[in-house]
Amino acid sequence: MFAEFLQYLLSGITVGAIYALAGLGFAIIYNSSHVINFAQGEFIMIGGMATSSLVAAGLPMWAAVLLAVLITMLVGVALEYFAVKPARNADVVTIIIITIGASIFLRGMAQIIWDKESHSLPAFSGETPIHLMGATIVPQSLWVIGVSFLAILVLGWFFNRTLFGKAMLATAYNRLAAQLMGIRVKRVLTASFGMSAILGAIGGIVVTPITYTNYEAGVMLGLKGFSAAVLGGLGNGMGAVVGGLIVGVAESLGAGYISSAYKDAIAFVIILFVLFFMPSGLFGKRGTERV
């Protein structure tokens, strides 16, 4: 009984960590530009696919990982430069549609560069399951959880401790005042796409040994990340992390106790519920502002 619950919980936290990273990606871009970047899932896919093909080409794992993260970051920056920036005077809905178009384009490119097959990566430290109070967990799950946790810590450090991180927060809060401080808001926008792409790539790489990846793996992951971000309150980083874990665990419990046929539906029920009943999410804008 408990062992079964623990089992579902562990696999929920594992996928939830990936949703959390994707959700953070949505939050960072949303904060700097109010754009919801529906190509976020493609960053996850490109991270996994690129690493997998680079390893297959004979590169050592660490080099493949670094290169794949770099490639994905460049894709993110290029997305901002070629697709979002030229439309900077368009309204937000138009830009969101542009990101949907970009996601379709990136999937098409992935199909041409790679193929339609499923790709994997060797697990980072073996496949021998670890037993834990009657449940089992593969070592790669610990990698997923650990690496995601580390990425979130680094991100927290970046925003709270570095001047550029603070400048990004300031720009998100008040663009005009940020410009008056001499902050280049264009650079902030570019950085937000680059950072979101890095987060996506990291998630995609660590999860590929467990879930495998293919050219359209980003679609579902992106939507789940979006539900995480909406659940946490769009633009709230900590909210996106909590939202990601909730979506992951809810999905895993639902699949385990109800039916795995409903696994993907659960995330969408959560989105609809949030949009109807609490549009600002669990941690929507706090009222620290005084006029």
Partner 1 sequence: MLLEISGLTSHYGRIQALKGIDVTVGEGELVALVGANGAGKTTLLRGISGVQPVSAGTIRFDGQDITRMAPEARVQLGIAQVPEGRQVFGPLSVEDNLRLGAYCRHGTDVEADIKRMYAQFPILKTKRNQPAGTLSGGQQQMLAVARALMSHPRLLLLDEPSMGLAPRLVAEIFRIIETLKGEGTTIFLVEQNAYAALAIADRGYVVETGQVVLVDSGTQLLANEKVREAYLGQ
Q: Which residues bind partner 1 (CB under 8 A)?
A: 163, 166-167, 169-170, 173-174, 176-184, 288-291
CB of residue 169 to partner 1, shortest distance in Å: 6
CB of residue 93 to partner 1, shortest distance in Å: 20
Instruction: Report the distance separating Cα 206 and Cα 136, nearest Å.
Output: 19
Q: Which two tokens stand for residue 167?
A: 């400048």
Q: Which residue's CB is nearer to partner 1, number 72 or number 171?
A: 171
CB of residue 88 to partner 1, shortest distance in Å: 14
CB of residue 166 to partner 1, shortest distance in Å: 5
Asked whether the beta carbons of 39 and 79 are under 8 A apart, the reply is: yes
Dihedral (C-alpha) 161, 164, 170, 171: value to the nearest 10 degrees? Answer: -150
Q: Which residue's CB is nearer to partner 1, number 100 or number 184?
A: 184
CB of residue 180 to partner 1, shortest distance in Å: 5
Integer angstrom CA distances of residue 95 from 60, 88, 89, 138, 169: 39, 8, 9, 40, 21
Q: Which residue's CB is nearer to partner 1, number 53 or number 280?
A: 280
Q: Which residue's CB is nearer to partner 1, number 112 or number 180?
A: 180
CB of residue 50 to partner 1, shortest distance in Å: 35
Q: Is 121 exposed, middle or buried (0-12, 13-18, 19+ CB in 10 A)?
A: buried
CB of residue 53 to partner 1, shortest distance in Å: 41
Q: For residue 137, which phi and psi values (nearest 5 degrees)?
A: -140, 135
Residue whose C-alpha is closest to residue 218's, from 52, 26, 83, 22: 22
Instruction: Report the distance separating Cα 78 and Cα 99, nearest Å.
Output: 12
Instruction: Report the distance separating Cα 273 and Cα 13, nearest Å.
Output: 21
Q: For residue 212, which phi and psi values (nearest 5 degrees)?
A: 65, 170
Q: What is the DSSP letter of 213?
A: B
Instruction: Report the distance separating Cα 201 and Cα 100, nearest Å.
Output: 18
